[in-house]
Amino acid sequence: MSCPPLVRVYDAAFSSVSGRSHILLEDLSGTHSQPGENAAPSAEMSRLALEAMGKVHARWWGDPRLGNGIGTVFNSDWLASFIADLNTSVAEFIQSGSGEELTAKQKDSYRLMLNAAPRIWGRLTDVRGLTVTHGDAHWWNFLYPNDAAVHSVRVFDWQLWHIDLGARDLAFLLALGGFAKPRPGLGANLLRVYHDTLIENGVTGYSWKMLNEDYRWSVIRNLNIPIIFRSQGKHERTWKEALQRAFDSYDRLGCASLL
């Protein structure tokens, strides 16, 4: 890929014998910065971040190498195993003390999600419309230019990259807030920026309506995020905040109507 929207890597190597490695990256410390902790970037910088992510997704959109040299496209065996694990983890979450945080309506939403799991996650077994996704798209995995007229937003920290719907990255970043306070009033505009960027960068056959539907399905998948956070041992405040935000966006976007 081009740099931007990524950070240029000049050299990288790993020795399986010694276990030692090195990576030499472009130094952006003088040209880029980030907002303070838990503070989202400005509306303009947010727009540029969505453009950057759109360029990344467009580059790999439906690429024939997905699952064939680049990443893994999930199959029916993976889907069956994932759904079995999902049923177990959701049941444990609801039956534990954590479940006391849930209303009867929210518990029913989890039931609906599990019933629809073959449709929700089964989408990932068909490479059409999939792309390389970041997997941890929050506002501090972007570097923002000090002068947007000269430099571009860069996307970094690709530890969790995988093949998925592009909208999955957006649901984590926008609906959950990307570890900042969600901004529902800005979300629709940023989705439009993302879709325009896809089209401008060669993606065809993917309408605005299709993006909105994929986004809403991805927001449903956000219901699993607080469960994952809790299982990872994250602070109680972190997973409870994710739980509230997941259901706020689930209700606001009318996601139950998809189930």
**Which conformational region is residue 62 in: left (phi greater than 0), alpha (psi within -120 to 50 degrees), or beta?**
left
* CA dihedral over 177, 198, 10, 31, signed as positive or negative: negative
pLDDT by position in tens, the chain (length 259): 888 999 999 999 999 999 999 999 999 999 999 999 888 999 999 999 999 999 999 999 999 999 999 999 999 999 999 999 999 999 999 998 776 779 999 999 999 999 999 999 999 999 989 999 999 999 999 999 999 999 999 999 999 999 999 999 999 999 999 999 999 999 999 999 999 999 999 999 999 999 999 999 999 999 999 999 999 999 999 999 999 999 999 999 999 999 9
CB 134 within 8 A of CB 141: yes
Find, among 77, 161, 168, the residue nearest to 122 by Cα.
Answer: 77
Domain range summary for the chain, segments of one domain joined by +: 35-258
Instruction: Note the pLDDT of residue 93.
Output: 94
pTM: 0.93
Is 35-258 a CATH 1.10.1670.10 domain?
Answer: no
